[in-house]
A and B are shown apart, each in its own frame.
Chain A
């Protein structure tokens, strides 16, 4: 649509994993997602930043577990039958880093097309605009495509 929207969407569509956090739906770029697992026991890390409060064991790797709800100022719900951990791989300072993200619900893997992308409105948002890559329309709903690198840095 315009600059600021990156390369992978040049094909017109973008594969995303639709997750629910509180009342909102977020679309994670499917290219980042490594796996989706059931909740595992977490280990609290004293002194860590609030949005990466703990670590988990995923296949023998100890990886941080991030809570986007804290970053977006949402209430933290208790784990339910729908709670999942989405393991994503990010590039932080030139090195790949695995991070788990708690999701209240994981809906499906789907495509959002370029034509559905909406400009991020300047007003009416209570989230930091730099956390949001763009907002897209999906089945009559607006979903947020978060900028994970920014959120976790």
Chain B
């Protein structure tokens, strides 16, 4: 850990803070009165500024400072956070993120434009003076404090630079106490030929507009006290302009705009409010009494709870967890051998120890797996921004509701899920939700609703994206499929089968191609990504009432349930999710060397003899077994010598030297310590199909 680049640490930290900030800003759009949200946004900003300066991101620090200054008005309750202000604030947040992640790509002009926007919202006409100040010293804040401050006169001894002290640093420290107005006194500068470049000739006059006490100022100059003359006199009243009346004016102007999202407040707060009630019915009572008018009161409480949980975490590199997982895997294998050994002997005490170790090893494995799990809520948070922006761009008001944020998934899965979910949510807003006029005509609420939910279901996690839009237009999909020659006109298909065409590459029913969707790339990519994660995707729709997309995902990528089989001497694993059924190869099928088809309840199923593919030596077992596997609609039989049984498997990827081998997707280690290969079902199916085609060709010839 100690070797980690501190800048990288800052970047990670910042990206978490950005999520907090973004979440708070978006919530603020919904509940402009929530003080807690303003404070949490402000805290995030402040931390970004502080650590940004610490790690040398000066631009970030100065920009954030400006942002913070503007936002301070909101915090003081002087202005209300309107939708427009939130949008600008989000843009500012994006700019800071760009400054941190890729400083080269940013342009100061953009930053200035955003700041100008911010200032325009915050105060209609900021006097010119503070702007000049900013030009002189970027870290200075516009003087707006109404509190009295201090007037400082600084005179350093001429040799101060030689001691390594830098008066400019001290001034910067001073600025941190509050808005400063610094004027250098250049009287003492001699002619050029008399000047010693290592001497300090400048003196400074500083007006500090902050109500700090004298000790704080003394602290700044603590180390140079002996080498300087510091004259302090209190400022009677601030010379800073006090544009208070302007605020009021602005307030009145913005008030109607701010009322617009008001109905949302109740709608959004209500489901949240229910939660804590269910959890702590007693605790809620006094709160409700003390603050009868506040509806969103329970929300800050749950927010605080979330914060508490945050403190009790440790940041660990993902690689270390992988390493730990490997070690645990080894331990489990060693333990299996010990158990084997103990059961073959008769020593009772060794058997007891073996059992004890088995129990410990399995719980250690579960714990280690658990450590790789992260709540999916971190992912959901990102989509709120997406929905916010899309609903603004398409002018379709959309309410975004998430549930099951606590559902845990393997870290790598969460990362893989981000892109597919973006697609699905975009589709839901762009195609699913109708425009306001249509909705009103159909007697629906003007505001669309998109629900993103995650829930555990056995060893799987279900993630659903549900909209209450118009639903899929089955007739149109069918027409399009016929037009593209995917189905014959007049073929009898169920609605479900027709909907599957949506996952076909290049399939789009959108009449016009918009910037968002309609190009026909997307759903097929989504499907492929989900299938690569060994998950499935399912569509269900009700005309006029909406569409639900359900993703079924395994809990982790690191472990699969497999079927252990034997082919000759070798043992292989078939992912259990792909296995349909196991049947015995009949004597008749066995004899027929010429054809590679099975008759499974009247259906022709091509089969592959694994003994041939694996070039197994020795005589085949007398009763060959067939495992029917499927990918989507295709079924293929695999003929093996023996089916050993279920096996929970830690997946190891194959080395680069075996990258040319396609029929195996990975390897695992069996209980006796040998490696076993995991069959790649999709590749085997493709192989079987190509064989069938070849057979057809040879028959035709």
Contact, CB under 8 Å: A66 / B652: no
- Asked if B71 is at the interface (CB within 8 A of a chain A CB), the reply is no
The winner among A40, A45, A61, A92 for most chain B CB atoms within 10 A is: A45
Residue of B nearest to A49 (CB): B660
Q: Assess whether B667 is in contact with A46, with CB atoms less than 8 Å apart.
A: no
A95 close to B (CB within 8 Å): yes
* Other-chain contact of A98, B614, B655, B677 (Cβ < 8 Å): B655
Q: Of B45-53, B327-335, B382-390, B516-524, which binds chain A?
A: B327-335
Which listed residue (A49, A56, A97) contacts B675, Cβ 8 A?
A: A56
B103 within 8 A of A: no
B329/A60 in contact, CB under 8 A: yes
The smallest C-beta distance from A89 to any residue of chain B, in angstroms, reads 12
A55 adjacent to B675 (CB under 8 Å): yes
Q: How far is the CA of A69 from the CA of B392 in the complex (A)?
A: 68
**Chain B positions within 8 Å of A52 at CB level:** 657-658
A10, B614: Cα distance in complex, Å: 48
Contact of A41 among B615, B657, B673 (CB under 8 A): B673
Q: Is the CB of B655 within 8 A of A63?
A: yes
Residues on B with beta carbons closer than 8 Å to the beta carbon of A97: 655-657
Instruction: Say yes or no: B668 contacts A62, CB within 8 Å.
Output: yes
- With A55-B677, A57-B675 as contacts: A64 and B655 at CB distance below 8 Å: yes
Name A92's closest neighbour in chain B (CB-CB).
Answer: B656
Task: Pick from A40, A46, A56, A61: contact of B615, CB below 8 A.
Answer: A46
B243: interface (CB < 8 Å): no
Q: Is B654 close to A, CB under 8 A?
A: yes
Which B residues are CB-close (under 8 A) to A152?
657
Whether A93 sits at the interface, judged by CB under 8 Å, is: yes
Most A CB within 10 A of own CB, among B326, B615, B661, B675: B675
Residues of B625-675 contacting chain A, CB below 8 A? 652, 654-658, 660-664, 667-669, 672-675
What is the number of residues of chain B that contact chain A, defined by CB distance less than 8 Å?
29
Q: With an 8 A cutoff between CB atoms, is B579 at the interface?
A: no
Q: Are B570 and A43 in contact (CB under 8 A)?
A: yes
Closest CB in chain A relative to B16 CB, distance in Å: 30
Docked Cα-Cα span, A107 to B614, in Å, equals 36
In the complex, chain B residues 665-701 whose Cβ is within 8 Å of any chain A Cβ: 667-669, 672-677
Per-position binary interface string of chain A over residues 8-45, scored 1 when its CB falls under 8 Å from any chain B CB and 0 otherwise: 00000000000000000000000000000000110111
| Closest chain A residue, CB of each to CB of B326 | A60
Tell me if B441 is interfacial: C-beta within 8 Å of chain A. no
What's the minimum C-beta distance from B614 to chain A, rounded to whole angstroms?
4
Does B587 belong to the interface (CB within 8 Å)?
no
Q: Is the CB of A55 within 8 A of B673?
A: no
Known: A41-B673, A43-B677, A57-B673. A93 touches B664 (CB 8 A): no
- Cα(A56)–Cα(B652), bound, Å: 12
CA distance A134 to B614 in the complex (A): 38
Residue in chain A with minimal CB distance to B670: A57
- Determine the distance from Cα of A62 to Cα of B673 in the docked complex, in whole angstroms: 10
Q: How close is B669's CB to chain A, nearest CB, in angstroms?
A: 5
The answer to whether A48 touches B661 (Cβ under 8 A) is yes
Nearest neighbor of A52 in chain B, beta-carbon distance: B657
CA A93 – CA B673 in complex, angstroms?
Answer: 30
A contact patch SS: strand
- CA of A70 to CA of B330 in the docked complex: distance in angstroms? 31
**Max chain A Cβ within 10 angstroms of own Cβ: one of B657, B660, B674:** B657
Cα distance A129–B660 in the bound complex, in angstroms:
25
Q: Is A59 an interface residue (CB 8 A)?
A: yes
Beta-carbon contact of A55 and B333 below 8 Å: no
* A43-B677, A57-B674, A97-B657 known; A62 vs B613 contact (CB < 8 Å): no
Q: Which residue of A lies closest to B330 (CB)?
A: A60
Q: How far is the CB of B652 from chain A (nearest CB, A)?
A: 5
**A143→B614 CA distance, assembly (Å):** 37
Contact A44 B614, beta carbon cutoff 8 Å: yes
Residues of A within 8 Å of B674, CB to CB, are: 40-41, 43, 57
Is the pair A62, B326 in contact by a Cβ cutoff of 8 Å?
A: no
Q: Are A47 and B661 in contact (CB under 8 A)?
A: yes
Please, which residues of chain B bring their CB within 8 A of the CB of A64?
654-655, 657-658
- What chain A residues lie within 8 Å of B667 (beta carbons)? 43, 55, 62
> Which residues in window 84-114 of A have CB below 8 A to B?
92-93, 95, 97-99
User: Does the CB pair B669–A45 fall under 8 Å?
Assistant: no
Expressed in whole angstroms, the Cα–Cα distance for A46 and B658 within the complex equals: 10
A79 to chain B, nearest CB (A): 15
Contact B652 A62 (CB under 8 A): yes
Q: Quick one: CB contact mask for A105-138 with B, threshold 8 Å, 1 for yes? A: 0000000000000000000000000000000000
Give A55 to B655 CA distance when docked, in angstroms.
9
Q: Which residue of B lies closest to A43 (CB)?
A: B675
Residues of A within 8 A of B (CB): 40-41, 43-49, 52, 55-57, 59-64, 66, 92-93, 95, 97-99, 152
Offer 17 A-B interface pairs, CB within 8 angstroms, sorted by A: A43-B675, A44-B614, A45-B658, A45-B677, A46-B614, A46-B615, A47-B661, A48-B657, A52-B657, A55-B654, A55-B655, A55-B675, A57-B675, A62-B675, A64-B654, A97-B656, A152-B657
Task: Rank and list the top 7 A-B pairs by shortest CB-CB distance, nearest first.
Answer: A60-B330, A62-B667, A46-B614, A43-B675, A64-B657, A62-B652, A41-B674
Known interface pairs A55-B654, A55-B675; 20 further A-B residue pairs with C-beta atoms within 8 A, sorted by A's residue number: A43-B676, A43-B677, A45-B654, A46-B615, A46-B663, A47-B613, A47-B660, A47-B661, A48-B657, A48-B661, A52-B657, A55-B658, A55-B677, A62-B652, A62-B654, A62-B668, A64-B655, A64-B657, A99-B655, A99-B657
